[in-house]
Structure 1
């Protein structure tokens, strides 16, 4: 049986340890997210995805532990388990990531429809208004798609531009609710840009980052399977050792001839 290259073994142990650490962190994040969303109404729709995350995290964590053991002890069965397991996980995640790419546009359209149902915003429920206020403050915008016009004349204070705003601002309509308590009738500046395009852009960016991270993890899992395959090949190599043949003629060897030559001299 052959021996595994020491540099290859150390490289795989580093990769497997990194995979194990990431899997443990993802498992902790999944547990925290599941607990946080436990009371949410949308949790039933998210259960298949949460279950898949649990399975992937636990499986990759176990495979990384088995892989480190197999590489350290040079156990062929452990390397075979890692090759099969990591290959299946990589293939599954590659399919899921590929399916998630076109879903990015669908998610944006779903968010757009959900927010458009709130227009006119002045008639929205109080919880929805609170969410919109926070959205406008954080993104420095006003309204959804038509700007302040989505609020009719009931423009909230969260639309007012801050003193050092770096985004475009416009003067609020004089007949809006912002001027009710105004004494000097000075112009009140509000954010010009609507919130929905900005928010959907952030959603697309977040999905892109998640897809990139998952794709990178998929490549790392595939790399670990490839390194295990190379180590398994090295372990199964057979070296041709030339047979040792006894020869009576080599009994005396060349030392006799050298000794005789020295005596004659």
Structure 2
């Protein structure tokens, strides 16, 4: 133990244990967003072929990697292994670089992403009036969204449903006390607001969650780099 600070050693262990827990949390949140199948179905059926969940997929990979690195850092601190600490430092540095690069790319392509998402949603309007299996899957997803968020249709309101309206109006119906947010369409009192703006807001909330996690993670990663390098040098000097 000569030359190695017990405070640094056990601080490194505690840090990496918390880092490992962060990895679990990130993985759980990312998977929760990713498996929201109904929401995903709503804006991934267009012809653009772009999946808005790419960032979430990356976050899943990052969360899994952080769990592995956290375990590696804990072992390196307890065993005073320079090799493990060096691997931990390199892995953490690479993740930080990838995060910075992803942030820069995300900021650069923000307007393009919003345009693609808007185009995809407008393309999906056609699915509401069709009767094939893919269209029915999309209609089921939107019906659930309508019921939860109190909206109707995708872009133009209830008219988006076309001939399928009479089979799907239940989730569009207003409560027993209609107000200014409701409108009468084909004899049914339904929500006036189309779902497109609510879907965009939902995606933005998911993005804010991802950005918040990324910024918080970056601060933790910098601390991890400092701790690991200090302990690495102390072990080498003992």
Residue 57 to residue 150, structure 1, CA distance change in 2 (3 Å): closer
Task: Structure 2: give runs of 5+ residues left out of the alignment.
Answer: none
- Residues 30 and 57 of structure 2 are in contact (CA less than 8 Å); yes or no, is this contact kept in structure 1? no
Greater shift, 127-136 or 49-58, is seen at 49-58
Q: How many residues were matched structurally?
A: 222
Q: Distance in 2 between matches of 1:164 and 1:12?
A: 60
Whether 2:75 is the aligned partner of 1:69: answer yes
Match of 1:145 among 143, 155, 158: 155
* 2:181 equivalent in structure 1: 169
After TM superposition, give the deviation of residue 232 of structure 1 in Å.
2.8
- Residues 159 and 191 of structure 1 are in contact (CA less than 8 Å); yes or no, is this contact kept in structure 2? yes
After TM superposition, give the deviation of residue 237 of structure 1 in Å.
5.2
* 2:119 equivalent in structure 1: 113
Task: Structure 1: give runs of 5+ residues left out of the alignment.
Answer: 180-187, 239-265
Residue 114 to residue 192, structure 1, CA distance change in 2 (3 Å): same
Greater shift, 224-233 or 45-54, is seen at 45-54
* 2:106 equivalent in structure 1: 100
* 1:227 equivalent in structure 2: 227
Q: Distance in 1 between matches of 2:93 and 2:126?
A: 52
Q: Distance in 2 between matches of 1:64 and 1:99?
A: 27
Q: Distance in 2 between matches of 1:36 and 1:144?
A: 18
Is the helix fraction higher in 1 or 2?
Answer: 2
Residue 152 to residue 91, structure 1, CA distance change in 2 (3 Å): same
* 1:67-126 per-position Cα deviation (integer Å, ceiling 9, x unaligned): 222222333333222222211221122212332344454444333222312446762335
Larger radius of gyration: 1
Residue 102 to residue 159, structure 1, CA distance change in 2 (3 Å): farther
TM-score, normalised with respect to structure 2: 0.70
Residue 55 to residue 199, structure 1, CA distance change in 2 (3 Å): closer
SS at match of 1:172: strand
CA RMSD of aligned residues (A): 4.1
- Residues 104 and 207 of structure 1 are in contact (CA less than 8 Å); yes or no, is this contact kept in structure 2? no
Q: Distance in 2 between matches of 1:55 and 1:119?
A: 33
After TM superposition, give the deviation of residue 206 of structure 1 in Å.
0.6
* 1:88 equivalent in structure 2: 94
Q: Distance in 1 between matches of 2:90 and 2:105?
A: 23
TM-score, normalised with respect to structure 1: 0.64
